[in-house]
Structure 1
Amino acid sequence: MRVEELLKKETATLRAAGIPSPRVDAEVLLGFVLGCDRLVLYWEPRREVAAGKATRFKELVARRAAGEPVAYLTGEKEFMGLSFSVTPAVLIPRPETELLVETAVTLLQGAAAPVVADVGTGSGAVAVSLAVLLPAARVFAVDISTAALAVARENACRHRVADRVVFYAGDLLEPFAGNEAVFDLIAANLPYIPSGEMGALPPEVRREPVLALDGGPDGLNFYRRLVPQAERLLKPGGHLLLEIGPGQGAAVSGLLPPPVWEGSVKPDLAGRDRLVVAQYRG
């Protein structure tokens, strides 16, 4: 069967299953099976697809139609222009989180040798991106999941920053207990979805680790615990960056009262609360 025929048929399968972007998902999956970029499919619509590959493609489409995320099917996700390995052990990197990385890079540009912590590193997308974009930085990445840390280490090696990203298994910043004023910046994309809203998440999101999504009754359990730790571990003038959900800006800002903190809320491209940026005044 030809590329154009396969895509037409399996796009219809995904559309009938209610998948939001059926054509794009079908293209990504066929490109994955054929080992090419999805754009190549536009250049070669009449290319014949071997029976074995066509069968494999249909199998992946069936799994996608059942709600399995594309990134878990391909094992890859792009973030900050870099390709990251992902597995069901980690949260899939989101475009919205690029705001956190971009803000961190802006704040740390010009710093001689910044020391950064990435709390809840998951796939390592934030930690690795920061190490790539800030060649002088030393990054300490923490996650409570050893399975997630294995993926993060793989990504650090993939992007050749394993010598500058140190991984710790632990709960929030507890691996650094006993230290004081060691970080120039602490970044955290922790679970912030209120427990009562977990059931309303799209089916494919519910395939991701609950540990990386559920933030407790109001979504702020982890940030309440993190802020006191950050006060001890940030250098005076250092920054704390917290990714948040829409509408959480005021509540999270309330955890960072002046004069100890000076903060603001940055919106994402859709104009929704997305990032709290707070400077530690000491």
Structure 2
Amino acid sequence: MTRQSVIANPPPQKNSSHSIQSLLDTASGQLSAASETAMLDAEVLLCHCLDKTRSFLRAWPEHQPSPHQIAQFQLLVEQRSQGTPVAYLTGQREFWSRNFKVSPDVLIPRPDTELLIELSLALLPKDRPGKIIDLGTGSGIIAITLAVERPLAQVFASDLSSAALDVAQYNAQQLNTSNISFLQSHWFDNIQETGFDLVLSNPPYIADNDPHLHEGDVRFEPASALISPENGLRDIRLLAEQARLHLKDNGQLLVEHGYNQQTEVQAIFNEFGYQKVNTYADLSGNPRVTSGIWEPL
């Protein structure tokens, strides 16, 4: 082969614009107007397309994904730039160090809700049986986490939405939880069981005129799981009223609520006769969960 032919037919060059690092840099710039965590969003979406961890992205920044992976990634970035939550694009979100399937039929798990888990685990020792119900379970993160952490407990999970229950049941199967039962019900309407040690809920608690409904991920989440009438308090009131008939003596009701609803929620608990009403703060220092003990006279 002559020198001239070698020069005329050089080896194919890789396109540096398709490396992991360049794809992330481009996507981060594209997402900067839509997300405060643009680079993190880009990394999570690329990991999803590559089926790799974020440590892989850092270890191999020059790696070039396949054309199919690049096309998939660019499509997800475009959807994210229009506001679609990352969790709905990847179909999963971590909660209590476990991955849960999520869909637009359920709320996206948030770190604030882990406070309900912490409080529940403190109230129910691991070495004794217990009876728990999680009302409005959504993706099942509360009920399933407690079922895994407290294998001796009998756990119930209910939701009005059959689509949400499908997601929760899938998550329970993936995490091999056998001590949990699922029921379709609007709060306690179809619940016959009584004698619960713990009644838990992360109910709708946002007022229908709250401006946050038009911001961020909540724009894409199911309104029925977010909005409650009477300034966001109607469902909490129903729970407090109905739970009394299903708790055992000295059983506890724990409800997640908005950061500015502590006074109103405590008043509701007191109105319905709960004792030792307390509110606990989340990791950001915001009042997030109120509990009360049912001690019938």
TM-score (norm 2): 0.91
Compared CA separation, residues 111 and 264, structure 1 to 2 (3 A): farther
Identity rate, percent: 36
- Aligned positions of 1:222-261 closer than 5 A: 222-257=235-270, 260-261=274-275
Task: Indicate which of 166, 180, 183 corresponds to 1:165.
Answer: 180
Shift of 1:218: 0.8
Aligned equivalent of 1:85: 101
Q: CA deviation digits over 1:195-247, x for unaligned, max 9?
A: 11156441421100001000113101101111121111101111111001011
Distance in 1 (alpha carbons) for counterparts of 2:127 and 2:54: 39
Contact 1:262–1:280 (Cα < 8 Å) also in 2: no
Q: CA deviation digits over 1:76-121, x for unaligned, max 9?
A: 1000001000011100111100000111011001562100000000
Root mean square deviation, CA, Å: 1.3
TM-score (norm 1): 0.95
Larger radius of gyration: 2
- Indicate the SS of the match to 1:88: coil
Task: Indicate which of 124, 130, 137 corresponds to 1:108.
Answer: 124
Matched, 1:277 2:294: no
Aligned equivalent of 1:263: 277
Matched, 1:128 2:144: yes
Aligned equivalent of 2:201: 188
Amino acid corresponding to residue 171 of structure 1 in structure 2: H
Structure 1: tracts of 5 or more residues without a match: none
Task: Indicate which of 215, 222, 226 corresponds to 1:213.
Answer: 226
Shift of 1:20: 1.2
Q: CA deviation digits over 1:160-214, x for unaligned, max 9?
A: 00x211000010012224x54x100000000000111156441421100001000
Contact 2:279–2:290 (Cα < 8 Å) also in 1: yes
Shift of 1:50: 1.3
- Aligned positions of 1:10-159 closer than 5 A: 10-15=27-32, 17-110=33-126, 112-159=128-175
Return 255-264 or 188-197, whichever deviates more: 255-264
Contact 2:274–2:292 (Cα < 8 Å) also in 1: no
For these two proteins, the number of residue pairs brought into alignment is: 278
Contact 2:126–2:149 (Cα < 8 Å) also in 1: no
Return 150-159 or 220-229, whichever deviates more: 220-229
Matched, 1:2 2:16: no
Amino acid corresponding to residue 223 of structure 1 in structure 2: I
Shift of 1:269: 1.4
Compared CA separation, residues 154 and 200, structure 1 to 2 (3 A): closer
Compared CA separation, residues 100 and 260, structure 1 to 2 (3 A): closer
Compared CA separation, residues 249 and 19, structure 1 to 2 (3 A): same
Q: CA deviation digits over 1:22-68, x for unaligned, max 9?
A: 00000000000000112210011011111111111000000000000
Structure 1 segments of 4 or more deviating over 3 A? 198-201
Amino acid corresponding to residue 9 of structure 1 in structure 2: T
Distance in 2 (alpha carbons) for counterparts of 1:199 and 1:124: 24
- Indicate the SS of the match to 2:205: coil
Contact 1:198–1:214 (Cα < 8 Å) also in 2: no
Contact 2:92–2:100 (Cα < 8 Å) also in 1: yes
Amino acid corresponding to residue 262 of structure 1 in structure 2: K
Contact 1:114–1:138 (Cα < 8 Å) also in 2: yes
Structure 2: tracts of 5 or more residues without a match: 1-17
Distance in 2 (alpha carbons) for counterparts of 1:224 and 1:96: 21
